[in-house]
A and B are shown apart, each in its own frame.
Chain A
Amino acid sequence: GAVVSQHPSWVICKSGTSVKIECRSLDFQATTMFWYRQFPKQSLMLMATSNEGSKATYEQGVEKDKFLINHASLTLSTLTVTSAHPEDSSFYICSARGRAGPTDTQYFGPGTRLTVL
């Protein structure tokens, strides 16, 4: 099956710093990538959808200036948490979907645990 990787798998940073998380589709071209946030014992909440070469579409309530998403190639999307604060601590998961569009399956990365001190 398709493989999606994330890097780093965990990161600890000081309040006020920025953190970049990478999401890569390793063996397929991902025209669309998704970023989710998962709180403990809760479901995945979609933060934004990004299509290669275009601006990301953010879900209601997600600050686009705080969570910068770049989908520069068909295999790489990045999420940058700018000026991170403790309330941004969470588990961030990306997924990628291939060229078949909405009828294609989303494949998920292993997630990145962000802890902001």
Chain B
Amino acid sequence: AQSVSQHNHHVILSEAASLELGCNYSYGGTVNLFWYVQYPGQHLQLLLKYFSGDPLVKGIKGFEAEFIKSKFSFNLRKPSVQWSDTAEYFCAVNARGNNRLAFGKGNQVVVIP
């Protein structure tokens, strides 16, 4: 079964700083990759997803993620964060053709104005 690891559970940074959240998965086959965001008091929302094609995926709110197959990674980036990006970010993976979506433990990101 696939598993997902996210490091640095708590991230604190100032506005305008750059953000990068790591995501690594363990599965040898073809995968679909997702980043979800959960703002305080709200439900999970999809930031971006990768199924195939260009490994650099652009999502909403200026986020992007790059799939590096050789590293089994799908890191999330944003060049300049805002206070409103304070949220919890979850990486998720499912094996192609499999229903199960495996989540990482999440990154709690706090942006200080």
Main secondary structure of the interface of B (DSSP, over half): loop
- The main secondary structure of chain A at its interface with chain B is strand
Chain B residues within an 8 Å CB radius of A42: 105
Shortest CB distance B48–A (Å): 10
List the A side residues contacting B43 at CB < 8 Å: 4, 93, 108-111
CA distance A107 to B92 in the complex (A): 13
Q: B69 at the A/B interface (Cβ < 8 Å)?
A: no
Q: How far is the CA of A4 from the CA of B46 in the complex (A)?
A: 13
Q: Is the CB of B106 within 8 A of A110?
A: no
Take A93-B44, A105-B46, A111-B43 as given contacts and tell me if A44 and B90 are in contact as well, using a CB distance cutoff of 8 Å: yes
Question: What is the size, in residues, of chain A's interface with B at 8 Å between Cβ atoms?
Answer: 24
Q: Do A43 and B101 touch across chains, with their CB atoms under 8 A apart?
A: no
In-complex Cβ contact of A32 among B51, B99, B104 (8 A) = B99
Give the number of chain B interface residues (Cβ < 8 Å).
24
Chain B residues within 8 Å of A19, by CB:
none
Residues of B within 8 A of A (CB): 9, 32, 34, 36, 42-46, 49, 51, 90, 94, 96-106
Please give 15 more A-B residue pairs, beta carbons under 8 A apart, in addition to A49-B100, A93-B43, A110-B43: A1-B45, A1-B46, A4-B43, A43-B106, A44-B103, A57-B99, A95-B101, A102-B32, A102-B96, A102-B97, A105-B46, A105-B49, A108-B36, A110-B42, A111-B43
